[in-house]
Structure 1
Amino acid sequence: MKILIINPGSTSTKISVFDETKELFGKSVVHDSGILKQYTRTIDQLEYRKDLILAALKEAGFEMADFDAIGSRGGLVRHIPSGTYRINEQVIEDLKNCVNGEHASNLGPVLAKELGDPAGIPAYFTDPVVVDEMQEVARYSGFCGMERESFFHALNHKSVGRKAAARLGRSYEELNLIIIHLGGRCVCRCT
């Protein structure tokens, strides 16, 4: 089973092709900040990034018909539990309308669906930054009427946490870990 993976970030778009768990191809396309500034909204970068993905795949000898599924970094959809979700029209609408904010990750599911639909390829996203598995006590902010919300790089945190757990010979769920994500804009969140 060949899977195309798409991970749009604020400064680059990373793509990979996997055959089951074996990576066959990977590329990080770094975007010129001058080009990105030409777009009023992040979602307006859709065609620009889609063209770059298709060009990189073609250069590597792949075409969309080669893929059985497309996986994407999730965007700022509505708060949901951790997991993998099939991309549907409600997800696309929420991302285009920035229901939980505007970020480059909003492009991921939209790109996946736009690339997959014409070829009949199912598209999914996993663990978006709005994963909400907070305990109720963690929602208290200290200000009456103001709750804390869950926003963090869940996909990266859980991946790193699972790798650490495997190295320790323990399950991810039984550990308390401090994981720090440093992205293109060096926003840090500890969980």
Structure 2
Amino acid sequence: MQEISQYLADTLRQLRTDRGWSLDRAATECGVSKAMLGQIERGESSPTVATLWKIASGFGTSLSSFIEPPPAEQRGVTLRSADTLRQRPAADAMLIAPLFPFDARYGFELFELTLLPGYERLSEPHSEGVVEHVIVVRGVMELLVRGVWQQLKEGEAVRFAADQPHGYRNAGTQPAVFHDLIYYPPQSR
């Protein structure tokens, strides 16, 4: 967890420096308090996934850019294992394995997400044109799209415009595991 916090802190600080933004400006752009951003940069706070999304959206970047650096490629091949990547990068009860962090060549990032029993997260709209593809790998989950919660079982998939409010929840007693491929159109990065 310490490595993740330090990577997040360094990435946030570097993005601010690259843009020449003060903490005040970053807070305004992200919709996250200046105090919270300062705590994250100092490694004193573990934000929720929702807060990480706000920060990523405010900077016009991907969520995965705050979790880990792009993976190494060997002769055009990238091999990843969810078991070795799975982590809890935020303060809430969601495990995240960034299978393929965002790469501008492809325009997407791919996560394996695990919702622990009782977990619910409501997500604010992402940037215009962002589309999510959710595929349930194990268990049962619910997805909020266009104001309606719909149940998804193992093997079921849905694609939706993520530039509107949406959410994920696990009302069951077993973890729900799904893959989430998030596509970013060129103008939203």
| TM-score of the pair, normalised by structure 1 | 0.26
The structure richer in helix per residue is 1
The structure richer in strand per residue is 2
| TM-score of the pair, normalised by structure 2 | 0.27
